[in-house]
């Protein structure tokens, strides 16, 4: 296939002209001039001899490359203007005549009226199959299931590979043999002919002797190894050979490459891609890398393999099902499979480490995706990441790999933060190469150290919120990110949040708390003095004025919480998992605003139901005061525990308890008899009132006694009475209107055992265990919630104040103005590193009195230990 941008036809092409007459006239002119020309005249790509299709069957040796058919989509006017140029070009290409004008290249751009014509080419392959074989292949393709639900295997030796099913125009070498009566010796043909099945079996075996006669067959038939007839199961013979290495070798690989090179089709053959949608784009170079064969990687690159080929089939996408995403590029595949030598070879042979795949990911992004935080995986990913970074910096100093963004706008460090790859992320922040040539790749610079204490400067590039879509914002607001709490404890993020809190967030938080407390007092006072005729304060001159002012202030506060709630939910949709970590204070504030709006609407409409909404809003407003506990460590941790228990243990308890309560309430109501007919009682009362007579009204019991007894007439009342039993306040003086006394007692006792004894005690035990388990986790969650508060307050600041209150200091690393960075100074203490460097080993458990002979050696050992401990300190070493 080829695409060209010129209207000048190639010499050996069949043009689609604007009329059939011109086409026929040109063909007749070609036949008269060269009636005996055959395919053998096109040994070289630049041959200008025409081809007589009718003479193909008489030719024994066909060495032509593929024909090309050009499609001209120019207008009729353009064709008419370019008619003479086309005729001259055609004559020159066919060798019918030569003029000075014809020998000159045609430059259509010199004409102001000329227009570039886009031509599309496709190859015309040679087909030497018999009619029976062709029919058999068509039937196999027809019987293939249309819906390809079953994924085709990448390679198999247990079933027959299928030929490529895409339509292909081919030249039939046997089209006239039946007409001319030429008989074919099928046995001889079977021995000499190489079809796809025979070729694939030969390359799978790895025996070069089975490929004898292949090159002669290709030369005789004019076929190429890159033809579609030699593409089976979506892969070429070269891919098949590399997928079937034995002990890392397959002699067929070199033999196939040599044949293709002698045929002049090497570039197309070595870069042939897998055509199945599942494995589309995979080349021989990908397979050689995956097979960990440095020998074949070098051979393929030497033969012209594309080092930037993209394997972008469905198997190579990021999916939950069985797949392997490695970055689609050969370099990314080598890096993700931990082949350092292959990585070095590819980088040294024009493989661009900054090349991006279909996701926009580079090799560094691919390593981030591959990381899984296990110790072994983290060690290899970190080593490979640094190796590629340093290697690229040596060969291409101007390329900054870590600044390249993918299609999501994420650099490698932001991608690590967004996917929660804690081990690799921590290494990125703390990377400090000791080599002077690689010092510019460092993100950490140690200033001084004294004992276990050392001071470091951390680069804030991409970390601080001063930049758009910073790492800190990604972690704090990324509710789906695993390890969020732990990532915020990594320096310098932990110190950066503390610095922001000390600089401005704490003061703004206290001001916000004071305003909310004032708002709460005003709302409470307004709600308490809501009755008509009572003013907010006992002042005659201001009667009703302060009450109205309080209502206006309460309404403005509700509007603020409503708008803020909508903004928060748009940025961070509420989900159960989010509520467990981020808390649900924003949701409660939004619910408070909704209740207040409902209260105001009903109050204006004159409905008495407003009182219920007002009471609920008032209670919720005081509960929301706990939001400000996150500004204080111990109160914040306590509040987090309450949130986790409510959404965890209590929520599960309520779900089970409601099932028990409804089920037993329905059972109790079913056992209770219906009370006397109220209609009959009302009728008797009416009759006695009209006749002024006194008749006895039927009653089952005295009304005073019934009022004191529990009611079980419906599920609602039964649920209320059974709930009292749950909390130990139930009344055992039941009504007598029930059937089957024994069954009633059994149901009631069973309910008390399951709820009052079992569920409540389980709830207490689970809450006790939850508190012990979640204390350390609650501390991290509190820090995360406080970080959300800090960034929310920073968003409210203007750009001027954000710049003025920005954390860190400007550092000129090279002292020439070429490498200025914003860094944050952090002082850290590492007793573990300090103790390991000292190598102190004590054994206080041996209290036996030493012998006199052993005294001197022990004293010498103790003195050597003292010198080992004291000498670094005295010498000023660390």
Residues 237 and 230 sit within 8 Å (Cβ to Cβ):
yes
Tens digits of residue pLDDT in 313-369: 888 888 777 788 888 999 999 999 999 999 999 999 989 999 999 999 999 999 999
Sign of CA dihedral 724, 726, 729, 735: positive
Question: Is the pLDDT higher at 799 or at 91?
Answer: 799
- The predicted model gives 647-659 an average pLDDT of 89
Query: 809: helix, coil or strand?
Result: strand
Least confident range of 50-64, 124-138, 171-185, 255-269: 50-64
Is 237's pLDDT higher than 60?
A: yes
Domains along the sequence of the chain with CATH? 2-121 (no CATH), 319-442 (1.25.40.20), 652-773 (no CATH), 836-874 (no CATH)
Q: DSSP string spanning 601-647?
A: HHHHTT-TTHHHHHHHHHHHHHHGGGGGGGGSHHHHHHHHHHHHHII
Predicted confidence (pLDDT) per residue in 493-550, tens digit: 999 999 999 999 999 999 999 999 999 999 888 887 765 444 434 434 444 577 778 8
What is the phi/psi pair of residue 449, to 5°?
Answer: -145, 145
For the cut 50, the answer to whether the pLDDT of residue 89 exceeds it is: no
Q: Any idea which residue has 């706990």 for tokens?
A: 626
Query: What was the pLDDT predicted at 387?
Result: 93
- Whether 457 and 825 have beta carbons less than 8 Å apart is answered as yes
Give the three-class secondary structure for 91.
helix
pLDDT tens digits for range 129-180 = 666 666 766 666 566 555 445 566 777 776 666 655 555 666 666 555 656 6
In eight-state DSSP terms, residue 444 is E
In terms of pLDDT, which residue wins out, 689 or 249? 249
Give per-residue pLDDT as tens, 297-308: 999 999 999 999
pLDDT of residue 809: 87
More reliable by pLDDT, 51 or 364: 364
Whole-number Å distance between alpha carbons of 423 and 596? 47
Nearest to 500 by CA among 792, 811, 821, 798: 792
Q: Quick one: pLDDT band at residue 287, thresholds 50, 70, 90?
A: very high
pLDDT confidence tier of residue 236, bands split at 50, 70 and 90: confident
* pLDDT of 381 above 90: yes
Mean local confidence (pLDDT), 564-591: 76
Residue 738 and residue 712 in contact, taking contact as beta carbons nearer than 8 Å: yes
Q: Return the SS3 of 451.
A: coil
pTM of the predicted structure, to 2 decimals: 0.71
Q: What is the predicted pLDDT for the residue at 198?
A: 84
pLDDT of residue 540: 41
User: What pLDDT is recorded for position 29?
Assistant: 52
Q: Model confidence at 292, in pLDDT bands (50, 70, 90)?
A: very high
Q: Is the pLDDT of residue 67 over 50?
A: no
Percent of the chain with pLDDT over 90: 23
Q: What is the mean pLDDT of the chain?
A: 74
Cβ atoms < 10 Å from Cβ of 677: 10
Highest mean pLDDT among 46-60, 70-84, 332-346: 332-346
Give the pLDDT confidence of 188-226 residue by residue, as tens digits: 565 667 777 888 888 888 888 888 888 888 887 888 888
Please name the residue that has the structure tokens 């000791």: 434
Higher local confidence (pLDDT), 27 or 815: 815
For 23-55, give the DSSP string: HHHHHHHHHHH-TT--GGG--STT------GGG
Listed in sequence order, the DSSP H helices in 263-348 are 266-270, 284-290, 294-302, 330-336, 340-348
**Half-sphere exposure of residue 198, counting CA atoms within 13 Å on the CB side?**
15
């Amino acid at each position: 296939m080829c695409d060209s941008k010129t209207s000048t036809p190639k010499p050996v092409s069949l043009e689609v002209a604007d009329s059939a007459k011109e086409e026929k006239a040109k063909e007749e002119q070609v036949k008269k001039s060269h009636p005996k020309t055959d395919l053998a005249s096109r040994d070289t790509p630049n041959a200008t001899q025409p081809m007589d299709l009718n003479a193909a069957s008489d030719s024994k040796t066909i060495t032509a490359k593929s024909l090309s058919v050009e499609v001209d989509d120019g207008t009729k006017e353009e064709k008419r203007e370019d008619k003479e140029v086309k005729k001259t070009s055609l004559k020159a290409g066919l060798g019918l005549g030569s003029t000075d004008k014809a020998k000159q290249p045609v430059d259509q751009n010199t004409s102001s009226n000329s227009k570039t014509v886009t031509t599309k080419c496709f190859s015309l392959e040679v087909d030497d199959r018999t009619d029976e074989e062709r029919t058999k292949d068509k039937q196999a393709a027809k019987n293939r299931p249309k819906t390809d639900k079953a994924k085709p295997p990448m390679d198999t030796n247990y079933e027959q590979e299928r030929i490529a099913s895409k339509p292909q125009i081919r030249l039939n070498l046997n089209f006239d043999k039946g007409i001319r009566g030429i008989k074919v010796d099928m046995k001889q043909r079977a021995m000499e002919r190489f079809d796809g099945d025979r070729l694939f079996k030969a390359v799978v075996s790895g025996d070069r002797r089975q490929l004898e006669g292949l090159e002669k067959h290709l030369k005789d038939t004019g076929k190429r190894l890159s033809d579609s007839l030699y593409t089976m199961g979506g892969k070429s013979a070269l891919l098949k050979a590399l997928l079937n290495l034995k002990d890392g070798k397959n002699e067929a690989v070199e033999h196939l490459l040599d044949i293709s090179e002698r045929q002049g089709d090497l570039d197309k053959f070595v870069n042939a891609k897998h055509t199945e949608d599942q494995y589309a784009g995979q080349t021989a170079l990908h397979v050689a890398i995956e097979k960990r064969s440095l020998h074949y990687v070098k051979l393929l690159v030497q033969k012209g393999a594309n080092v930037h080929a993209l394997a972008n089939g469905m198997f190579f996408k990021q999916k939950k099902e069985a797949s392997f995403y490695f970055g689609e590029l050969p370099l990314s595949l080598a890096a993700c499979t931990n082949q350092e030598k292959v990585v070095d070879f590819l980088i040294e042979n024009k493989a661009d480490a900054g090349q991006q795949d279909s996701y926009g990911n580079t090799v560094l992004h691919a390593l981030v995706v591959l990381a899984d935080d296990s110790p072994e995986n983290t060690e290899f990913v970190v080593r490979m990441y640094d190796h590629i970074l340093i290697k690229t910096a040596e060969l291409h100093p101007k390329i900054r790999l870590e600044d390249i963004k993918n299609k999501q706008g994420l650099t490698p460090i932001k991608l690590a933060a967004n996917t929660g790859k804690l081990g690799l992320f921590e290494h990125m922040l703390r990377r400090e190469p000791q080599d002077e040539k690689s010092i510019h790749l460092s993100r950490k610079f140690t200033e001084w150290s004294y004992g276990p204490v050392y001071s470091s400067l951390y680069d804030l590039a991409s970390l601080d919120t001063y930049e758009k879509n910073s790492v800190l914002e990604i972690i704090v607001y990324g509710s789906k990110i695993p390890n969020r709490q732990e990532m915020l404890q990594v320096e310098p993020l932990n110190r950066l949040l503390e610095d922001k809190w000390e600089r401005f967030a704490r003061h703004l938080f206290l001001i916000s708390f004071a305003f909310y407390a004032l708002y709460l007092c005003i709302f409470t006072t307004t709600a308490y003095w809501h009755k008509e005729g009572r003013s907010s304060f006992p002042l005659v001159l201001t009667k009703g004025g302060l009450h109205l002012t309080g209502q206006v202030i309460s309404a403005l506060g509700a509007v603020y919480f409503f708008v803020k709630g909508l903004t928060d939910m748009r940025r961070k949709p509420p989900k159960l998992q989010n509520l467990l970590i981020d808390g649900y204070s924003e949701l409660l504030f939004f619910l408070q605003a909704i209740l207040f709006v409902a209260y105001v609407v009903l109050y204006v409409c004159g409905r008495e139901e407003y009182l219920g909404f007002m009471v609920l809003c008032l209670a919720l407003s005081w509960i929301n005061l706990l939001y400000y506990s996150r500004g204080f460590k111990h109160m914040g941790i306590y509040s987090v525990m309450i949130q986790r228990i409510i959404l965890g243990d209590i929520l599960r308890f309520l779900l089970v308890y409601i099932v028990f309560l409804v089920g037993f309430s329905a059972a109790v109501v079913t056992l209770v008899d219906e009370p006397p007919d109220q209609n009959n009682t009302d009728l008797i009362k009416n009759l006695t009132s009209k006749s002024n007579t006194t008749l006895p009204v039927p009653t089952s019991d005295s009304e005073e006694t019934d009022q004191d007894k529990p009611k079980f007439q419906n599920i609602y009342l039964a649920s209320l009475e059974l709930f009292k039993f749950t909390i130990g306040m139930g009344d055992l003086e039941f009504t007598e209107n029930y059937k089957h006394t024994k069954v009633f007692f059994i149901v009631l006792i069973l309910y008390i055992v399951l709820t009052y004894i079992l569920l409540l005690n389980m709830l207490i035990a689970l809450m006790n265990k939850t508190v012990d388990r979640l204390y350390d986790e609650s501390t991290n969650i509190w820090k995360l919630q406080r970080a959300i508060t800090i960034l929310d307050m920073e968003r409210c600041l203007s750009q001027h104040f954000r710049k003025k209150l920005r954390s860190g200091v400007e550092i000129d690393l090279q002292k020439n103005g070429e490498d200025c960075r914003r860094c944050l100074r952090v002082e850290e203490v590492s007793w573990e590193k300090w103790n390991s460097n000292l190598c102190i080993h004590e054994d206080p458990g041996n209290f036996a009195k030493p012998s006199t002979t052993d005294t001197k050696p022990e004293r010498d050992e103790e003195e050597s230990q003292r010198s080992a401990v004291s000498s670094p300190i005295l010498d000023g070493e660390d």
